[in-house]
Structure formats: structure tokens, C-alpha cells
Amino acid sequence: MGLFSTILEKLGLGAKAQAAPAQPGAPAGGTAPGPVAEGGATPAMPLVDVVARLEGLAAAHPERLDWKVSIVDLLKLLGLDSSLAARKELASELGCPADKMGDSAQMNMWLHKTVLQKLAANGGNVPKELLD
């Protein structure tokens, strides 16, 4: 499993998170059943409020982390390895351009923006101001 899959899982996004056992008293799958689309198919997975989850983690974290602008802080908040080697691995996994890989500051900025965009693309409700 790649590092981005772990990020998705920690935030309750993606196939594994959707298949996780429901909390007691919650409907199966952890979400209320949605309306049935034409042809009997169910709509796309429900959105997960990424900001609320991360703010909850930040409130309980002993260190003040600025996850809204820092990929290092975002990874720390999720309890993941935030070392340069781990960030390079994640950047490679997500297709970081080669010219940014050689400059850790540029790679970090690209990586933070891309992770948030990919969270949104995988069912995360991420405000537009964090995606720009």
C-alpha cells in the first residue's frame, strides 16, 4: 500500500475506509443509505469533511501544527512519517515533476497542494481556498 492510500485510510476515504466496520448504532458502511440513482445504482460515495477531521486531530495533538500550509505538519498530524525520504516517496507516487523533486521547498508546496486536491478527488470535502 502506498503512502497516499494510508492518508486516505486515516481520513476515512477510499474503498477500504468505506468498507470499514460501522460504529455501533450506525448504518452498515458507516453512512446513511443515499437515494438510488436511475437504473438502481447508488450515487457516488458520500463526502468526508476533511477539514473537520483534521481540525479534530489538531485539537488533540500536543504540538501546534499548521496542516493547512505544511505537508510536514499534515503528515505529522496523521501520525505518518514526515521525513524528507517519505515526502519524496509520496511525491514520486503522486507524479511530482522532476524539476520540483530537486528542490525540497518546491516539492513540499507541490505535494501539499496535490495531496489536498487528491483528497477532494477521492471523496473529501476540501474548501476551494485550500485547493488553490
SS (H, E, C) 96-115: CCHHHHCCHHHHHHHHHHHH
Q: Are 7 and 119 in contact (CB under 8 A)?
A: yes
User: Partners of 49 in the beta sheet?
Assistant: 125
Asked if residue 91 belongs to a domain, the reply is yes
pLDDT value of position 32: 38
Identify whether 24 is part of a domain: no
**35 assigned to some structural domain:** no
pLDDT in tens, the chain (132 residues): 699 999 999 999 875 444 443 333 333 333 433 333 444 444 555 688 999 999 999 999 999 999 999 999 999 999 999 999 999 999 999 999 999 999 999 999 999 999 999 999 999 999 999 887
Q: Domain for residue 117, yes or no?
A: yes
CA–CA gap between residue 47 and residue 34 (Å, rounded): 12
Domain membership of residue 102 (yes or no) is: yes
Q: How many domains does the chain have?
A: 1
The answer to the question of residue 107 being in a domain is yes
**Residue 66 in domain:** yes
Measured between alpha carbons, how far is 35 from 2 in angstroms, rounded to an integer?
33
**Domain span holding position 89:** 1-9+51-132
Residue 70 has which C-alpha cell? 505544511
Give the contacts of 72 (CB within 8 A, at least 6 positions apart).
82, 87, 108
Pick the closest to residue 108 from 129, 84, 132, 131 (CA basis).
Answer: 84
Question: What's the pLDDT score for residue 1?
Answer: 66
Is 37 part of any domain? no
